[in-house]
Amino acid sequence: MLRIPAVAGRFYKGNPESLKKQIAEFVIPAERRNAIGIMSPHAGFQYSGTVAGAVYSSIHLPDTIVLIGPNHTGFGAAVSIMTKGEWETPLGTVPIDEQLAASILSKSRRMYEDTLAHVQEHSLEVQLPFIQYFKTDFKIVPIQMLDTRLDTCLEVGKAIGEAIQELSKQSRLNALIVASSDMTHYESAAVAKENDFKAIQKILSLDPEGLYKTVKQLAITMCGVGPTVAMLVAAKLLGATKAELIKYANSGDVSGDYNQVVGYAGVVIG
């Protein structure tokens, strides 16, 4: 299956050259480091592009990227993975890493082979142009999470981590795990920042369970908490020992409206 773009021309420029110019505006000079996982936002580029650009500017990109995002549409399985096919953006097509995808699927009872969840969902799609800007030859494993119960998040993360571990030993696989998430939605900038940094602190502490509990207890509207918990679990299995907040911003920085913002955070796990 060729998964065609759902939000090109809306969340980001639909023309290849215009898209490259748009992304270039968000690229910053940065010392690149190896990463096991990252958290990157998924709003329209005009709002969250500065944060996503800062994150992707700061890391080396490997040949395989596992993308985990929240399912906003409600379509498809509880946890949906595509194990075959290609994803298209205005910058070209990206193949799925079939071997890694199949291995991840085999290790989770809560994950299903499914394409419906991916057709209209934007949370993974918007990561691809940034990756394509910096790297032309890579594969992906796309995973959408509708079920974000803690047990499910922990199992998905464990499946990803173990699959990468096994294939790394067999074929020297080097993979990056991307959790796609925005932070607080539609609170004042002050409230959003206060709550978001309580969640961010748990991410920086590499505490997946603590992140989940903090978000639930404080009713933080972090849409990608499930994918971020899963990413942290997988990253820790793969030896992660540190995390760094690269940038935090909110939609008011662009719109000028600080009464109702969406927060964006970019974090690198290594």
Q: Specify the CATH number for the domain of residue 187.
A: 3.40.830.10
How many structural domains compose the chain?
Answer: 1
According to the model, what pLDDT value does residue 123 have? 98
pLDDT of residue 177: 98
Do 244 and 235 form a contact (C-beta atoms < 8 A)?
Answer: no
Low-confidence ranges of the chain (pLDDT < 50): none
Can you give the pLDDT at residue 171? 84
pLDDT of residue 172: 82
Q: What's the pLDDT at 153?
A: 98
- Phi (first) and psi of residue 149, to 5 degrees: -65, 150
Please report the pLDDT score of residue 151 as a whole number.
98
Q: Which of 90, 175, 102 is nearest to 138 (CA)?
A: 175
pTM of the entire predicted model? 0.98
